[in-house]
Amino acid sequence: MERPDWAPQGIDLSRPSVSRIYDFYLGGSHNFEVDREAARQAIEAFPGLPKVMQANRAFMRRAVRYAVGDGVTQFLDIGSGIPTFGNVHEVALEADPSSRIVYVDHDPVAVAHSRAVLEGQDRAVVMAGDFRSPQEILESAEVTGHLDLDRPVALLLVALLHFIQDDEDPWKTIAAFRDALPAGSLLVLSHASWEGGPRTSEHGRQIQDVYRTASSQLVMRRRPDVERFFTGFDVVEPGIVSMPDWRPDGPTDQEDPVVYSGFAGVGRKA
Amino acid sequence: MNTPVQGFAGPGTAGPAESGRQADGIRRFATIWSRAVYPTTATSMTRAEFERHLIPLTERLCTALHARPFDPADAREVGSALVAAHCTSPEALPQVLGVVDAYLLLYCSDPQRLPTEEGRARCARLQHAIAAGFARALQERTRVEQESISRAALAAQAEIEKALYESQTRFRTVFEEATLGIGIAAMDGTVLDVNAALTRMFGGNAAVVLDRRVTSWVHPDDAPGVWRKYDELVRGEREHFHTEKAYHRPDGTVLWTNLTVSLLRDPDGTPRYMLALMEDITERRLLHLRLRYEATHDALTDLPNRTLFFERLEQTLSRTEAGARFGLCYLDLDGFKTVNDSLGHSVGDQLLVAVAERLQGCLAGPGQLVARIGGDEFVALVSDPRDRTEVTDLAGRALEALSTPVRVDGKELSVRTSIGIVEGPVAGLTAAEVLRSADITMYRAKAQGGNRYELADPDLDARAISRHSLTNRLPAALEGAEFFIEYQPLVRMADGCVEGAEALVRWDHPRHGVLGPDRFIPLAEHTGLIVPLGRWVLEQAVRQACEWQVRGIGGPRQLRVNVNLSPRQLHHPHLVADTVAVLQNAGLPPESLCLEVTESALIRADDDELKPLRQLAELGVGIALDDFGTGYSNLASLRRLPASTLKLDRSFTQGLQQHPADPVDLRVVEGIVSLAHALELSVTVEGVETASQADQLRTLGCDSAQGWYYARPGPPERFSEQMAVAAGQ
């Protein structure tokens, strides 16, 4: 018998969580031993992974500032995970105190943690939701109550889409979000790949193996598949590039080569 | 963010130049420090940002280095600030301390204010303090973060448990409130949980059901194979099965359910529970059984009806095993119609009930069945007779059982029955063929006097079939206008003039050609079709007579028409009304119609039965006593009959054909004529074929005659022509 939709899923703390692994990469302690064990294996398989994550955070920060500079002060951050530091709302509110942020994650622990972190913060809210159900997110009380969907929104899919499998058709899901958002909205996206950096597809395969036991499976994609995510968006300068190369704040010559693995980009809905 | 360094902030009396030199030293220290530490941090700051972030920290170290009295506590804050800037990796600490150890004095000390020896000692103590502050902050941060993620996990868990509880409550409510009975059993068959609806079905006490084994509910009416399906489900080879199942209730009654049993597996596919969904269909089933019983049984006698009989007969005939035989007795009560007509339907019904009971009593076992398939028609089916005797014995027992009169409403009614038996191998026979053969055979038994049985005989059947098929075709023939009428003139002996004609009905059968009344009138009489047929003949004849009269055929004297009336017509309650209506519709005077009734029909009739004829006679309709002399007439009783004419049977006139005529015959005819005249009856003779015959009959005083000597029966046109010719003569 299929479990009915309205019956809740349990939490399995014995399985590594991609949110808590990410926290570990960033030096946080919002994690349990299973998460740390998986993270250690991943780092072994793909040395320098924490640096890549740092670069990803840095990209996100720059992209948020870019959005505010572009006049977009509403943020829909899907797959927000466990906020450690330098979160979207911190960066955005620093750039424009009238910004509004909705965090979305499907990990109940991440949602509960975000709720605690955001206590007393009325510019940002968190909701439990799944990227794969765009309708549910867009029609949720959190989104409709906190954001004005008649004005441009920055949709943040940072380090998220490599957890969505091809057969779940993330391209179609992005199109659903795109169609629901007004012109001028931004798509902020970063995606794991061994392309661009010194690691090989073999490293990529190994890290995918590590994630096989985790709460979400990892799928590294190649450039053309990442480019297709921007269908219906005008990709802003400098295009879809390695994370450190996306509008850097300063010289990048001292960056560890590994942080060039993967892709980042921002697109604007015409 | 980009706070410029506002000079050397340490205590003392440094001038602007000095402070510029110190600020430069601090910046250079921060640059070296950042370069060493940045790779070990998890900060999202850029290198430049991180470097700027380190400047105030360097300033604090510098100030602490020079402070008097010396207090390394401030350096703890620097260690803790580095943790806050996400230098949380243990690898960061050696990098942090290494740069302080190597470069702090070099870039940040003022040797004028701080002697080198003391500077070294202070630097070492500052490093200790940085390490302590770093460790404490990291410990604190780790504790806080661990606590916060644990809280988050707990909160999430609590939320999910709440949702689970709500969903379980919802499930429980669905389970409890469902109108379907729901039960859950362990794989060993022990019933673990049942809902209220299921409990109610079993009489309201859950204890009756709980903890019992499913397998203890075997019921004699269980569908074949249902327990095999159950075993397959238990072994995990089947996901579900569906059946109608009976259960014994504690109060001894039976619960009938529509049952679906499904297998519930755990996540890795091992069978865990059995889920039973059951719907109480006891009432529906009873209703169904009752409807089925009513549909297959005769309401009056409670015997199986035609439907059930045919079902069983077809079953019997569909057997394929070699040598399979069957036997069928077709019973028809002789003269039952008379009982119904004369004593009323209520008596008839009671008689049928009594007959049904007696026939039921003749059955010798489960392979025999008695059914009522029509008004007074019964059949006994023997599914698999040992031999022919078993079937004929049954027929014999039936005759025997019915031989004692049945007492109904104080009347003793004798029952006579004719039985047709078909017995033999089932091979290739259809139910309809068997029944027709039995029906024919039954008629043969009836024709041989009734109250007997006859066995089907193919040769006899064939003959009977034509009789049978004629009977079957009669109604269609009447519908389809296959009957027509011929007229035979009646001649007055005194002057040889035609005084009328007898209407004689013919059947133009599509296969057998033109049939005379002797072929089909008895059949029509038997089936009752004589009534509509007779009425049709009467209408046609009366209309024809009227036409002749209107056209003046027959001269000044009005032509009369003679129409035959059968015994059944005679007893028909509407005879008078119908006849009057036909006459009135056509506008024919009653005197122009003569109804011919056979002597045998009239002689037997009592006063009541003669009443209609009397009424017609009083209206002026002539009544002729047909075939006179063939029955054993009590001549004295002729007086009480309303007849106006005697029609002398042709057998009397045959003796007069010879020349010289038979003297005895002459004497008899003479006597009858004189008797008739004494009773004021006219005499008509039939079958006159020769002139001398005609002469003698005239001499004997006969009033009128018909026969081939005068004219054969023919169509009305020919009659008109003959009359026209006669008139012209």
Which residue in A19, A111, A113 has the most chain B C-beta atoms within 10 A of its own C-beta, making it the best mutation to test that interface? Answer: A113
How do residues B476-523 score in pLDDT, each as one tens digit?
Answer: 888 878 899 999 999 998 888 888 999 999 988 776 677 788 778 877
Token pair of B729 as six digits: 């003569």
**Is A8 a member of any domain?**
no
Contact A193, A222 (CB under 8 A): yes
CB distance B54 to B92 below 8 Å: no
Judge whether A68 lies within some domain: yes
Q: Which domains does chain B show, CATH number per domain? A: 16-147 (no CATH), 181-287 (3.30.450.20), 297-456 (3.30.70.270), 486-728 (3.20.20.450)
- Kindly state the tokens that stand for B136: 């404490």
Helix (H) or strand (E) holding B418: strand B416-425
d(CA B544, CA B378): 45
**What number of CA atoms fall less than 13 Å from residue B96's CA on the CB side?**
33
Kind plus residue range of the DSSP H or E element containing B436: helix B431-447
Other C-beta atoms within 10 Å of B427: how many? 12
Touching check for B42 and chain A: CB below 8 Å? yes
Q: How many residues does chain A have?
A: 270
Please give the pLDDT value at position A134. 94
3-state helix, strand, coil in chain A (%, to 5): 40, 15, 45
B225-239, B378-392, B630-644 — which is least confidently predicted? B630-644
Say if the Cβ atoms of B43 and A109 lie within 8 Å: no
Residue A262 located in a structural domain:
yes
Concatenated DSSP letters of B8-53: --SSS---HHHHHHHHHHHHHHHHHHHHHHGGG----S-HHHHHHH
Question: What is the rounded CA–CA span in Å between residue B391 and residue B329?
Answer: 8
Residues of A in contact with B153 (CB under 8 A): 11, 13, 109, 112
Domain that holds residue A63: 55-202+221-244+256-269
- Cα–Cα separations (whole angstroms), residue B556 to B439, B499, B710, B711: 55, 11, 21, 21
CA distance B257 to B279: 5
Q: Is residue A260 part of a domain?
A: yes
Q: Is the peptide bond before B517 cis (omega within 30 degrees of 0)?
A: no
User: What pLDDT is attached to residue B10?
Assistant: 45
Task: Say whether pLDDT at B12 is over 60.
Answer: no
Write down the pLDDT at residue A4.
39
Compute the nearest-CA separation of B146 from chain A (Å): 6
CA angle B399, B405, B407 (to 5 degrees): 135
pLDDT digits over B540-586, tens only? 999 999 988 888 877 777 889 999 998 888 888 899 999 999 999 99
Q: Tens digits of per-residue pLDDT, A129-183?
A: 999 999 999 999 999 999 999 999 999 999 999 999 999 999 999 999 999 999 9
Whole-angstrom distance, CA of residue B696 vs CA of residue B702: 9
d(Cα A146, Cα A41) in Å, to the nearest integer? 40
Tell me, yes or no, whether A128 lies in a domain. yes
Q: Which residue of A has its CA nearest to B88?
A: A27
Bridge partners (DSSP) listed for residue A155: A76, A187
CATH of residue A171's domain is 3.40.50.150
What pLDDT is stored for residue B689 in this prediction? Answer: 84
Rg (C-alpha) for chain B, rounded Å, is 60
Q: Is residue A166 part of a domain?
A: yes
Tokens 């572009």 sit on residue: A70
Q: So what's the pLDDT on residue B292?
A: 86
B77-94: average pLDDT: 90
Residue A47 confidence (pLDDT): 87
CA distance A35 to chain B (A): 12
Q: Residue B443: helix, strand or coil by DSSP?
A: helix
Max Cα-Cα span within chain A = 58
Exposure string for B49-80, b = 16+ CB within 10 A, e = fewer: bbbbbbbbbbbbbbebbbbeeeebebbbbbbb
Residue A31 lies in a domain: no
For position B461, what pLDDT does the model report?
60
HSE value, Cβ hemisphere, 13 Å, CA-based, for B682: 14
Q: How far apart are CA A102 and CA A146, in angstroms?
A: 7
Q: Which residues of B touch A10 (CB under 8 A)?
A: 160, 164
Search chain A and give the residue with CA nearest B144: A29
Q: Are B325 and B385 in contact (CB under 8 A)?
A: yes
**Element (DSSP H or E) covering residue A156:** strand A154-158
Facing residues of B464 across strands? none
Closest CB to B44 among A6, A32, A54: A54
User: Band of the pLDDT at B724, cuts 50, 70, 90?
Assistant: low
Which residue of B lies nearest to A11 if distances are taken between CA atoms? B157
State the DSSP H helix or E strand holding residue B399, giving kind and residue range, or none if neither.
helix B388-401
Rounded to whole angstroms, what are the CA distances from A89 to A81, A94, B273, B327, B549?
13, 8, 50, 98, 123
pLDDT tens for each residue of B304-359: 998 899 999 998 988 888 888 899 999 998 878 778 888 888 888 999 999 999 99
pLDDT of residue A1: 32
Q: Are B221 and B201 in contact (CB under 8 A)?
A: no
Residue B238 has pLDDT above 50, yes or no: yes
Strand partners, A266: A188
**Mean pLDDT, chain B, integer:** 85
**If you count DSSP H runs as helices and E runs as strands, how many of each does chain A have, helices first?**
10, 7
Give Cβ neighbours of residue B261 (< 8 Å, ≥ 6 apart).
B230, B233, B240, B241, B242, B274, B275, B276, B277
What percent of chain B lies above the pLDDT cut of 90?
Answer: 36
Please report how the helices B530-551 and B575-586 are oriented relative to each other, as an axis angle in degrees rounded to 10: 30
% pLDDT > 90, chain A: 60
Strand bridging mode A100-105 / A74-78: parallel
Provide residues of A within 8 Å CB-CB of chain B: 1, 6-11, 13, 20, 23, 25-32, 50, 53-54, 57-58, 60-61, 82, 85-86, 108-113, 115-117, 248-250, 254, 256
User: Looking at CA atoms only, how far is residue B143 from chain A in angstroms?
Assistant: 8
CA A236, A238, A242 angle in degrees (round to 5)?
A: 120
The alpha-carbon gap from B87 to the nearest alpha carbon of chain A, in Å, equals 8
Q: Which residues of A touch B89 (CB under 8 A)?
A: 27
Chain B residues with CB-CB distance to A28 below 8 A? 42, 88, 145
B398, two tokens: 């039936």
pLDDT band at B465 (very low <50, low <70, confident <90, very high): low
Other Cβ atoms closer than 10 A to A104: 26
Question: Mutation test of the interface with chain A: which of B52, B134, B149, choosing the one with the most A Cβ atoms within 10 A?
Answer: B149
Instruction: Tell me what percent of the residues of chain B surpass a pLDDT of 70.
Output: 93
The answer to whether B432 and B422 are in contact (CB under 8 A) is: no
Angle B116-177/B92-108 helices, nearest 10 degrees?
150
Q: Which of A148-152, A253-257, B409-413 has the lowest mean pLDDT?
A: A253-257
pLDDT category at B55 given cuts 50, 70, 90 is very high
pLDDT: which is higher, A204 or B121: B121
- Counting every residue, how long is chain B? 729
Q: In terms of C-beta density within 10 A (0-12 exposed, 13-18 middle, 19 or more buried), how is residue A9 classed?
A: exposed
Q: Structural domain tally of chain A?
A: 1
B39 to chain A, any CB pair closer than 8 A? The answer is yes
Choose among B129, B118, B27: nearest CA to B78.
B129
CA dist B119 → B57, B60, B105 (Å): 18, 15, 7
What was the pLDDT predicted at B2? Answer: 41
Residue A215 in domain: no
Which chain B positions have a beta carbon within 8 Å of A244's beta carbon? Answer: none
pLDDT at B464: 57
Average pLDDT for chain A: 89
Q: What is the DSSP letter of B189?
A: S
Highest-scoring range by mean pLDDT, A125-134, B165-174, B449-458: A125-134
